[in-house]
Each structure stands twice: as C-alpha cells, then as structure tokens.
C-alpha cells in the first residue's frame, strides 16, 4: 500500500478534512496495521540485555486521578475457607492507559475513527465498532523510540511547567532526538524513524508528581474540568503545530505514548486537538501516564534509545480504553 504524506491526503466524500481512513471501510486497527510480522521481528533486534522493564503505574496512581476520573477501588473476597478473589473497580484512564479509537472524536464532525459515530458507541443502535476488542485481538508490539525531554531539559537548565499547558515544541523534540543521536525524520526523508515505530515522549511529569505531597497534587489534579481553552485541567505536553502534525502523520508511526496526562499540551490553544488527529483521523492509539523513569535511566546508561515494546490491551467488547499493560525489553 502506498502511504501518502499529509499534504497529499485526499479524503473521500463525507470524510473529514485531514482524515486518513486508508485501510478500508471495515478497518478497526488504524496504524497498528503497520505492525506487520516482519516489522515486529525486526524490532526484536533492539534487544541486547533482555531486561524487562514494566511501564505501568499502580492502578491507584496517579492520585488523585486527573480530569475528575474515578479512583481505583480494590476489594478482596474470601472463597469460603480455601482462598480469596479480587474485585477491581477501575477507570483505565485514571492510570497508565491506552486511549482507544472511541475515546475522542473529530470535534467539527463528531465522527470517530473510520466513520464511527456516537450512536455506534452508546444507545439503542450501539455496536462494538472500533472498540478495544480489536486492539486486544491484535496486540501491540514493535520498536519503541524514547525521546527523553525531561533529561534534555534538565541538562539545558530548562524548567518545565508541569501543571500548565507548557508546550514541548517540534524544535524541542528535534533537539532532544539530536542529543540522543537520532534524526527525527522518517527513513524515507533520510531520518531514523521507521514505519511502524512507537514514539514515546518522557516529560518528567511522573517524577515531578511523585515528588509532591498528595495535597499539592490534589490542588492541581482536582481543578475544574471544562473542555475548551478555559479548562482548569492544565498539563505539559506536545505542542499543537503544523510541524508536529507532519511529523506524527508522515513518519507512519503506529502509536504514541508519554508519561503526562494527555500526550499533548492541555488544553489546546489552537482550534484542534492532537487527540482528534491521532485517534479519530489517523487511527494512532495514544498512551498516557506511563511510568517511563526506569526505562529512561536504563536507556541513558546503554546510550541506546530504541527498545522492544509490547502491550496486551484489555479485551473488552466495545471498550473505550485500556490499562497500558506495557513492557519494554532492552
């Protein structure tokens, strides 16, 4: 299949501008289609020591949850005299997570990935179209590339503002990559980003959150959540810009992830959100609130910023999201 550049996208009639629903009318995988057996096998070459590093926070972290989401509840139930069971009550998006394709629509048209509608998700005509079961049946695996903005910022005496829509710019990411020996362009343009790669950005948000008291975190995480520019929920993240859009689209990465709450700087000050582009228009799953600190230390020690990434999303028919269930192997 020919993979068009963003500037060459030509959506069909009825499809939103900038959409890339190129995998067929029945597709539910989006860019995960790029994780072919050949590319996954090739990604195994990044493994040198075989060390396994989980990338998941405890289900009850971050605490309190951001965006007014439900906190994790855990109860233990006895099985007579012979054992015990667990019962979990969880919003997967309160902790290390994947945003699935039903999570966020293209706001102007209210369409989700590949033409999925709100009526497909909830109500009398609901189906499982583009639910998490599709990603769960496929699994997620490939070459991860970590861009450690947090480490780069510290080395360059930059003080990120974690609790405002502090923007990690395209030039920031280029400079971070350069400092790590990475050319942040697609292979087709002479760079190092391969088709199907998973782009992971560490801001240092989790490290900072862990340094704060519960009360200080609560004063930020419990701010009023109103979608739009006046949202009280304000977090560091990747900027909304044409350069970022071209990078994320034209690199043909298969997924993105970060250690901050929304991957992108929140709220957006533009007339669009990266969530709209990534999830609804391009079919790129978004990982958020991943625990990347141990991985960052190991990769810095090895002076190698690629690794094998694997995840088994929760198999929930019609699901919106999943706990991350992600591991890196280095």
pLDDT score recorded for residue 139: 98
E-strand spans in 150-213? Answer: 167-168, 198-202
Q: Residues 109-142: pLDDT tens digits?
A: 999 999 999 999 999 999 999 999 999 999 999 9
264 has which bridge partners? 238
Domain boundaries, the chain: 6-329
Q: Residues 1-16: pLDDT tens digits?
A: 889 999 999 999 999 9
What's the mean per-residue pLDDT of the chain? 98
pLDDT score recorded for residue 2: 86
pLDDT score recorded for residue 223: 98
Average pLDDT over residues 221-242: 97
pLDDT score recorded for residue 1: 80
Q: Are 145 and 197 in contact (CB under 8 A)?
A: yes
Average pLDDT over residues 254-261: 98
Q: Residues 260-277: pLDDT tens digits?
A: 999 999 999 999 999 999
Architecture, CATH, for domain 6-329: 3-Layer(bba) Sandwich (3.50)
Helix pair angle (242-250, 170-179), 10° resolution: 50
E-strand spans in 58-181? Answer: 73-78, 84-89, 97-99, 140-148, 167-168
Q: Residues 89-116: pLDDT tens digits?
A: 999 999 999 999 999 999 999 999 999 9
């Amino acid at each position: 299949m020919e993979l068009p550049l963003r500037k060459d996208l030509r959506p069909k009639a009825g499809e939103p501008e900038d959409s890339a629903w190129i995998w067929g009318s029945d597709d539910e995988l989006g860019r995960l289609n790029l994780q072919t057996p050949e590319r996954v096998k090739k990604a195994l070459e990044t493994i040198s020591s075989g060390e396994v590093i989980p990338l998941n926070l405890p289900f009850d972290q971050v605490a309190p949850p951001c965006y007014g989401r439900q906190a994790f509840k855990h109860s233990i139930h006895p099985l007579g005299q012979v054992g015990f069971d667990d019962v979990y009550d969880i919003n997967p998006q309160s902790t290390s997570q994947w945003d699935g394709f039903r999570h966020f629509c293209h706001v102007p048209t209210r369409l989700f990935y590949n033409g999925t509608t709100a009526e497909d998700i909830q109500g009398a005509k609901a189906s499982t179209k583009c639910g998490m079961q599709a990603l769960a049946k496929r699994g997620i695996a490939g070459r991860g590339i970590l861009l450690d903005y947090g480490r780069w910022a510290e080395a360059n005496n930059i003080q990120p503002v974690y609790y405002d829509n502090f923007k990690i710019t395209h030039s920031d990411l280029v400079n971070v990559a350069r400092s790590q020996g990475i050319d942040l362009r697609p292979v087709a343009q002479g760079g190092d980003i391969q088709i199907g790669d998973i782009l992971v950005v560490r801001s240092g948000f989790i490290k900072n959150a862990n340094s704060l008291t519960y009360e200080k975190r609560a004063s930020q995480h419990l701010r009023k959540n109103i979608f739009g520019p006046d949202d009280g929920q304000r977090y560091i993240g990747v900027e909304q810009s044409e350069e970022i859009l071209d990078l994320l689209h034209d690199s043909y990465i298969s997924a993105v992830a970060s250690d901050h709450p929304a991957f992108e700087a929140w709220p957006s000050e533009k007339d669009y959100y990266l969530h709209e582009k990534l999830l609804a228009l391009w079919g790129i799953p978004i990982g958020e609130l991943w625990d990347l600190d141990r991985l960052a230390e190991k990769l810095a020690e090895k002076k190698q910023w690629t690794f094998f990434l694997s995840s088994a999303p929760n198999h929930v028919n019609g699901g919106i999201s999943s706990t991350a269930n992600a591991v890196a192997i280095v």
